[in-house]
Structure 1
Amino acid sequence: MMMRLLVPTLLALTAATAPIAYAQDDHVYTSDLVTRWGKAVTPDNAWQSYPRPQLQRKEWRNLNGLWDYAITDPAVARPAKMDGQILVPFPVESRLSRVARKLTPEQRLWYRRAFTVPAGWAGQRIMLNFGAVDYAAQVMVNGAIVGGHKGGFDAFGLDITDYLKPGQNELMVQVADPNSAGTQPRGKQSLEPSGIWYTAVSGIWQTVWIEPVPRLHIADVRATADIDRGVVEVDVALSNWASDTDAVRLTASSGGKTVASTILRGNRHATLAIPGAHLWSPDDPFLYDLKAELIDVRDPYAGMAERDRHAYDARFTVGETRRYADAQPVGAPRDTVQTYFAMRKISVGQGPVRGQPVLLLNNKPLFHNGTLDQGWWPDGLLTPPSEEAMKSDLIFLKQAGFNMVRKHIKVEPARYYYDADHLGMMIWQDMPSGGGEDQFVAGTSQGQAIFPAATMADHISELTRMVGNLRAFPSIVLWVVNNEGWGQFDSATLARTVKGLDPSRLVDADSGWMDVAPGVSDVFDIHSYEDKPNVPTRHADRAIVLGEYGGVGLPVQGHLWKPGKSLWSYQVAGGDGDYLTRYRAKMEEVIRQARDHGLSASVYTQTSDVEDEINGLLTYDRAQAKASAADLAKIAAPLWTPKP
């Protein structure tokens, strides 16, 4: 979203309700705006779904709910007393957390709760998992430090077995967050929110849970479809190195019927043939189930002369693959995880306009009609009130004729991508931006930002973890590495890194401004908020896209974040009719560009209003659509109608 290219329209509105007043001066403004899902949130129902749907185990225990919390100076080793209770997993600044207090870069946020481990888990290792903590976390169990994590958008887990005791255990988490005073990836968060910058978010903001695993267990299953060959390539990584009798049994199925199965040595690769593959698409989001079981097998090399030499020489060979495929299982599985995959392909190739490549899905042109989706909520901020609330955005957009969402410089809870997979919504996933104000590259800049080596290393680490955590979700079809130069550095190298990690998807190196990786980026991406969006320059070797356009504002009284405050939009409609007229004019230009110039995608700003911004298709509380889904879908329909 552009900061400087256009002067935003400011609109002063009369307050319908007074802001909430707090006695403490460190409280955050939270608005009276609450979603219908937020009104239903309780300590007993806060985010109860299994949080890792692409690597799911049967046994687990959710630790969401009321925890004790405190905010202290950084020198405090442990709070003498706690300040009150906080509802996890909602960030401390949010209304739903029941706290709504500011955390400054100089302070520390503490969490504490008691938990017990089910007796039936005895003899197994106990993993403590966090969906996301913003930004730097240190975790303690029964007073001992068990580990830490730095990075606000990715999941992490810690083995806490050796720190547990019988009965009740104490879990404490200390969090530091520099927020917009630092250079770390943070997206739209700001300690001084205004315009396109939103309320800062700190601490635990996704589900916390424990689960039992064997000492050696399945850590990752990576399935990559190849529809041209009719196979799915599967990598299975274990938590540690494996012995020659540690194997994994893979079973792909559809509707409960086995499609393919094999056995492979632990920490190895397998190829499963999927005959007559049913392809995934937005109109037909078909998914295959995949089960991975860690099993024991009889030693495949038993009885051979120079047995150890043969086993060593066979490593990572076709011979090893064949030997384990024929191996004989022994006993019951030691670990089992459920996951799924889709047979689909995203690529760039010939389109209807000669000389201008387009985006292809399953080797056929498909226009990506999307919205810029911030994923913010008036009551939970970065944390949606519930999965139902989060899913409702996708359902509305599907009904409104959209088949893609650009997840804008935020990473969602994993359940979001699970829902997108099942609903048939393609995702362009942004890397959350970082950097300081003087490291934001302008539209006229001729060079990229400069950072210390440690800062670059942290950013690259978070980028690779984002790709690693999310690459299992087939709805994600494109990675966006940089947005409008916000903290942009060495863009070509970052884009190559992402391509190397995940060659099965496309990469947008620079969305909107400084295009410095033409030989790496699969798309040429411009942002245009004019009344009618500009046409991207044609490119013979990559697709052209409108990474952002639109921005038509319409304030809806009774559904505003801060009534009485000047609000932000690129243009302001005079009413419902004018709103739809302006939207139609923009979409008709998109349709023209697709037919006449080979435009491959457009991203309309935006799904919903967000704090000061009023340019959403939905109000911030998702209570009202500014145009009906049916009208929006009708306007977009010519995008998929053949040119006469």
Structure 2
Amino acid sequence: MRHFRKKTLQIISATAFTLNIFSANAQWKPAGDKIKTQWAEQINVNSVLPEYPRPIMERADWRNLNGLWEYAILPVGKAEPKQFDGKILVPFAVESSLSGVQKELGGNNELWYKRSFDIPSAWKGKNILLHFGAVDWKTEVFINDIKIGSHTGGYTPFSFDITPFLAKGNQKLVVKVWDPTTDGYQPVGKQRKKPEGIWYTPVSGIWQTVWLEPVNSQHIVQVKSSSDIDKKKLIFDIQTTGTNSANIIEVKVKDSGKTISAYKAKTGQQIEIPVETAKLWSPENPFLYDVEVALLKDGKVIDRISSYAAMRKVSTKRDENGIVRLQLNNQDYFQFGPLDQGWWPDGLYTAPTDEALVYDIQKTKDFGFNMIRKHVKVEPARWYTHCDRMGILVWQDMPNGDKSPQWQNRQYFNGSELIRSGESEANYRKEWKDIMDYLYSHPSIVTWVPFNEAWGQFKTQEITEWTKNYDPSRLVNPASGGNHYRVGDMLDLHNYPGPEMYLYDAERATVLGEYGGIGLALQNHLWQPEKNWGYIQFKNSKEVTDEYVKYAEMLKKMIKSGFSAAVYTQTTDVEGEVNGLITYDRKVIKMDEPRVRKVNREICSILD
């Protein structure tokens, strides 16, 4: 009889859970009538992007706060609303279809969010951290009607220790966001108030995972890892809370579960761990060492995180023909990949699922590329971990903002620059440093790109030198496409549609930072029925593939003459742009994949 009752309770519980899902889904549906990806149909509002959001620094215990929140849009300066407008699905931007709202915010309004949560009883005595993956742009956070903090920056994570402000029972969480998009000076990338051509829909509010994490009052805050393959060592800089000089950091490096090296040091000390028989990371063999970091107090572990690290080196070197080449692990290595915008027709900045996030990287590998240029956007941490694990090099752009001087891509040493206000300049420096700190430990990232096509370009030499000094483990591409200055590691040319080498630098690597843009508009896979464009357009897959291969054969000759990397525009269609290898909804591969893969692999191996 007891067994029957237990089984009955399980059935009732499962039924209640199912009803809750149906009830929640009944309060939400994608907004608008634009095209969508297949993954949009897989969204369960009770389990939205449920994967651990920061795998390079992972703790065992955490709680996801994604899902349906209340929202309201009010004029700037208004108090918290007593009545909210409805439900919004976090973490999708308010302008996106998957938010269920799809409304413009604009600089004259503020976006309010509200939800409640409880603290698990197992977390009693712990400090509770509230994490935001990214919120665009200015954020204020309230716990139980107390403002606990604020943050500016649309691309980087931030967190607050909310422990002192918690009450018994349910906790009230309110978030207020202001985002002027292009009415402000802040980094916005391709967002525009009036999207057209190469400019896209604004993205405002929460667009990455929100989550809770319990820690001890003394805990690990950040783990920065790098490597020196010439000296055969991994290097760790680990930041912790507190000032207890007796606390110890222990780092273990593992290969297939076996500890190959371990090291202890007082908190605040740099840790260098020898790796005598190093396995080097590359796109062909993306080997990662497992890393375990523990914080010890009086011999007891008070915090522990799981991480990973890689042994790899990026550099430049002049070859026997006098051409400065990019190198990976001390070998000439031609870097070739697509311009990857990272936009989604249903989620805008936010991929509908983690499977969707992986898809674009996997297809890039399938096409035979070895690199991705992440174009004026920063991705969630899981995207970079997927690149680390799958093996793809990443050029990381700084999202552009503010106004732009005249673009002078075919001139050298005399490019014009923007004179920013002090506030704008300080914000650029803050957000660029935050992005570099956020992504520092990901081995897939090999190049920082501070400026693109003169968009918001200012003090190029100073910014480039600061970037290089702040992270000497990577290359710096100072001004992709111009305006050009004699600084950094690369001279980067843009040319559409075909490749062309119209400038050359004998002292730095010369790269083709953008070319291609071959367009093909496919009915039923278009963001908009009219005004779709590519730099050159064709009528079918064969014509597009033929043109792609023609450009690839031209590029092969230019590699011999001096190009050391190239970036093809682009991975997918984006809104009105139809020049992707794949449609915007990711449902059609527009080129002959085997032909593209064959010629791409020939390009990538041309310096072997």
| TM-score normalised by structure 2 residue count | 0.93
The alpha carbon displacement at 1:400 in A equals 0.6
SS at match of 1:37: helix
Range that drifts further, 567-576 or 364-373: 567-576
SS of the counterpart of 1:53? coil
Identity of aligned residues (%): 41
State the match for 1:505 in structure 2: 474
Counterpart Cα distance in 2 of 1:166 and 1:349 = 62
The aligned counterpart of 1:244 is: 245
Q: Tell me the distance in 2 between the aligned counterparts of 1:207 and 1:457.
A: 27
Find the aligned partners of 2:524 and 2:52 in 1 and give their Cα distance. Answer: 35
- Name the SS for the 2:582 alignment partner: coil
Spell out, residue by residue over 1:34-57, the C-alpha distance to the aligned partner (whole angstroms, 9 max, x if none): 100011112122111111111111
Q: Which residue of 2 aligns with 1:568?
A: 533
Matched, 1:539 2:505: yes
Is the 1:441–1:488 contact (alpha carbons within 8 Å) kept by the matching residues of 2? Answer: no
Deviations 1:299-328 (A, max 9, x none): xxxxxxxxxxxxxxxxxxxxxxxxxxxxxx
1:249-274: per-residue Cα shift (whole Å, max 9, x none)? Answer: 11000110001101110111111011
Select which of 349, 366, 370 maps to 1:403. Answer: 370
1:31 CA displacement:
4.2
Picking from 128, 135, 139, the partner of 1:137 is: 139
Structure 1 position 32, deviation (Å): 2.7
Matched, 1:59 2:66: no
- Report if the CA contact (8 A) 2:338-2:568 is conserved: yes
Indicate yes or no: 2:219 matched with 1:217. yes
Give the conservation status (yes or no) of the 8 Å contact 1:418–1:473.
yes
Please name the residue that 2:168 is paired with: 166
CA distance in structure 1 between the partners assigned to 2:32 and 2:271 by the alignment: 51
Deviation at 1:441, TM superposition (A): 4.4
Q: Tell me the residue number matched to 2:303.
A: 335
Query: d(CA) in 2 for partners of 1:75 and 1:395?
Result: 45
Q: Deviations over 1:276-296 (max 9, x none)?
A: 100000010000011110002
Q: d(CA) in 1 for partners of 2:336 and 2:105? A: 38
* Mapped contact 1:351–1:598 kept (Cα < 8 A): no
CA contact (8 A) 1:477 1:505 kept: yes
CA displacement, residues 384-432 of structure 1 (integer Å, 9 cap, x when unaligned): 1111101101111101110100000000000000000011010000000
CA shift, 1:639, in A, is: 1.9
| CA displacement at 1:29 relative to structure 2 | 8.9
Q: Which residue of the other structure, out of 575, 579, 603, is the alignment partner of 1:639?
A: 603
Q: Which of residues 354, 373, 379 in structure 2 aligns to 1:412?
A: 379
| Aligned residue number for residue 592 of structure 2 | 628
CA distance in 1, matches of 2:80, 2:605: 64
Q: How far apart are the structure 1 equivalents of 2:255 and 2:76?
A: 53
Letter in 2 for 1:588: E
Q: Partners in 1 of 2:41 and 2:277 — Cα distance?
A: 47
Q: Which residue of 2 aligns with 1:366?
A: 333
Larger mean Cα displacement after TM superposition, 567-576 or 110-119: 567-576
Match of 2:95 in 1: 93
Tell me how far 1:350 sits from its aligned partner.
2.7
- Quote the offset at 1:382 in angstroms: 0.5
Contact 1:608 1:622 in 2 (8 A): yes
SS state of the match for residue 45, structure 2? coil
Q: Report runs of 4+ in structure 1 exceeding 6 Å deviation.
A: none
Greater Cα offset, 549-558 or 623-632: 623-632
Q: C-alpha separation between the residues in 2 aligned to 1:267 and 1:490?
A: 33
Correspondence for 1:463: 432
Q: 3-state DSSP class of the match of 2:385?
A: helix
Q: Cα offset for 1:166? A: 1.4
1:454 is aligned to 423
Determine which of 594, 614, 617 is the counterpart of 2:559. Answer: 594
- Greater displacement, 94-103 / 625-634: 625-634
Which residue pairs with 1:557 in the alignment?
523
In structure 2, the residue matched to 1:270 is 271
Q: Do structure 1's residue 480 and structure 2's residue 458 form an aligned pair?
A: no
- The residue aligned with 2:23 is none
SS of aligned partner of 1:567: coil
Please tell me the residue identity of whatever aligns with 1:552: I
1:125 maps to 2:115: no
Contact 1:282-1:426 within 8 A present in 2 as well? yes
The aligned amino acid for 1:252 is V
> 8 Å contact 2:388–2:442 — kept in the other structure?
yes
Q: What SS does the aligned partner of 1:434 have?
A: coil
Q: 1:149 aligns with which of 132, 139, 151?
A: 151
CA distance in 1, matches of 2:281, 2:217: 36
Distance 1:549 1:56, change over 3 A: same
Asked whether the equivalents of residues 250 and 262 of structure 1 are also in contact (C-alpha less than 8 Å), the reply is: yes
The CA deviation at 1:123 is 1.1
Per-residue CA deviation, residues 64-98 of structure 1 (Å, 9 max, x unaligned), is 00000000011211112000000000000000000
The whole-number CA distance in structure 2 between the counterparts of 1:442 and 1:349 is 28
Secondary structure at the counterpart of residue 303 of structure 2:
strand
User: In structure 2, how many angstroms separate the alpha carbons of the residues matched to 1:440 and 1:102?
Assistant: 30
**What per-residue deviation string (whole Å, max 9, x for no partner) do you get for residues 451-499 of structure 1?**
1111100010000000000011000000001000001110111111211
| Partner Cα distance (1:203, 1:641) in 2 | 43
Q: Is the 8 A contact 1:397 1:629 kept in 2?
A: no
The answer to whether the 8 Å contact 1:428/1:478 transfers is yes
Q: Which runs of 5+ in 2 are unaligned?
A: 1-29
CA deviation profile, 1:341-398 (whole Å, cap 9, x unmatched) = 110000001335x111110000001111110000000000001111110110111110
- Report the equivalent of 2:489: 522
User: Residue 518 of structure 2 aligns to which amino acid in structure 1?
Assistant: V
